[in-house]
Structure 1
């Protein structure tokens, strides 16, 4: 049996959708539902459930739709003039306003909030949300971010294994261009589309001998025309041979830091960083010199 609140939500949904003469995006058939009198209860029987459903789910540009339930009764996720249903049971619609945010210059917007109350009453207010926390928008942003899959770096070295590095001779370090490119992923739902982008910015090298090296950019690849003792964008000089290390080699690792941003539906923002790492074994040899000079 529907409560007074649920009846008010359904009646409001029907009236608004009919008066608008529009099909509500990301909506479902009003009044369809599931049985909440079974054990265990279906997840749709939570008081308010907003679900973003992927399209094919097999690529980084798939769209999706939204489905919303109010205590087991499927209701429109979006109502013209009232906005998107949120988990608190209220509806939110983004507003264009030059009023400053209450908490500082964090990217976001003012929203009109419409809530229905027990007995069928309805109230409206205005609230500020940062974009990452905004009703409906936040989950789509998070979905786009979760789709990002930056690759592990393909590491270049000179000398290149299995050729051994030499004590006292600089080893050139770089990341191949195939893995040094921005990567993007898109999520869509309810007419919203957000694209998240990861851009590589620096590499942290752990050569395996206890040292640490941070290089901005991918480094410079060595070519046959280069001088091994030259000055590449990123290099490391080993001071000891690896003969006494486990397995006779040192674990060299390269960790790429990616700056993450997102944009779409008239919004944009930053989302911190991601890292990817590759580790490989490097053998380091020491070449002994022998003075064979003769007496004058």
Structure 2
């Protein structure tokens, strides 16, 4: 299966931190002698720059994203652990807290909850006696109560031994997990639905997830893209990303959001819109 993507951004972003959110904003982070500089470009092309006084390498950043009230959330790896810092619009630090061991993925949702997925290292850690696979924090560092893993057990769904990716669509959080592909949809209070993918041909570790009417888009190793059809009894399809002329992109890194697929390559940034509703 091939998909054509529109060119969004001409400039090479090699060596930068690069992130997209569900609002279509592009975040480009660059390391500077006096700290970090983030350029934020919205869908209309307007841009602004946020300077943060942190000596962090771009490759150590997991997330940088705008929250409501013009605050900015930064997750980064330092001194053998992931840390979260929240900054004001002028780059002033407002809050900081550490995350437990075994962090595998993160998601800042539209309600301003910070969801953290854990690998098997974190799920079975002594500091996680209840065996949570996903944690929910407020932006002041408060850990919220969730019962996701308990509810998965109660409905006889596979246990989450490893959380691979988190995504948001229409107010629900989706978690991609386990050694063969399982996807659970939930909110802050309960699990809504679980999909157990029957196609074992493509079983393995996936690191990104997005949802559309077509099905579940999953990414492996940041550059291999697959579509799990909405009718999960159908086989998974491998997807080739192409430029507007139909030529296959190469050497690119994929970024999935709730509304689009982005491909970051040396020749620029490409986008494919997938914002066509939710899975029925």
Q: Is this a same-fold pair by TM over 0.5? A: no
Place the TM-score, normalised by the shorter chain, in its bin.
under 0.3
More strand by share: 2
Bigger radius of gyration: 1
The structure in which a higher percent of residues are helix is 1
TM-score by length of 2: 0.24
